[in-house]
Amino acid sequence: MLFSLFQRGLLLFALLLAAGCSTMSGSSRTASAPVPADVREAFAAAMQAIDAQDFTRAEEILSSVIAKSQHNPVPHINLAIVQVRLGKLAEAEETFKLALAIEPMNPVANNELGLLYRRTGRFEEARTVYEGILAKYPNYPAANKNLGILCDLYLRDYACAFSAYETYARVAPEDENARIWLADVERRIGQ
């Protein structure tokens, strides 16, 4: 999942760069200047470092990308994920929050922040994050799956888990585990 997320991040970043990048701030839309070629190249180098599992190098490169392209959430999100991999959880949380300051309803940033909250035992905060992003993007597979896991294994809120797994099974039918999770939660609800 980690590397496919980074690959999607690279593609998203490339598309935003090619389009001249626009961000949403509240209800106003502002276009930012095209990102210079050196920033695009640095981002690509960071993705290569990640693929090579050289997270320290990736962190360094992504920090330089952010310094030159502060208004794009994608490098922030990728940096935060790298920081999680390096065990720098407090830094990762702050970096996710910077990404969300740029784009508050970014589904990837919200999902990853929810995972960080779950990892650090902040289960209600994780739930709030997942439910908030699902209010905007109700069919976002990762958030449904992670809300289901949170409610099932950590909060023991089986009705929440069932609902989240049910949506996840519908939007990600290729994941055969979803049916198993649903049956398991349904069994526990019935007890």
pTM of the model: 0.82
Q: Express each pLDDT in 100-128 by its tens digit.
A: 999 999 999 999 999 999 999 999 999 99
pLDDT band at 191 (very low <50, low <70, confident <90, very high): low
Do 10 and 61 share a domain, yes or no?
A: yes
Q: Is residue 100 part of a domain?
A: yes
Q: Is residue 121 part of a domain?
A: no
CB atoms closer than 10 angstroms to residue 111: 26
Q: Show the domain range for 65.
A: 1-24+33-104
Q: Which residue has the tokens 């960080």?
A: 116
Three-state SS at 56? helix
Do 94 and 150 share a domain, yes or no?
A: no
Report residue 43 as tokens: 């981002």
Do 99 and 135 share a domain, yes or no?
A: no
Q: Which residue has the tokens 């784009």?
A: 103
DSSP assignment of 97-114, as one string? Answer: HHHHHH-TT-HHHHHHHH
pLDDT of 91 higher than 80: yes
How many domains is the chain built from?
2
Report d(CA 68, CA 94) in Å as an integer: 19
Please report, for residues 32, 35, 71, 88, 166, the alpha-carbon distance to residue 84 in angstroms, rounded to integers and kept in the order given.
Answer: 29, 26, 22, 6, 29
Q: How does the average pLDDT of the chain come out, rounded? A: 86
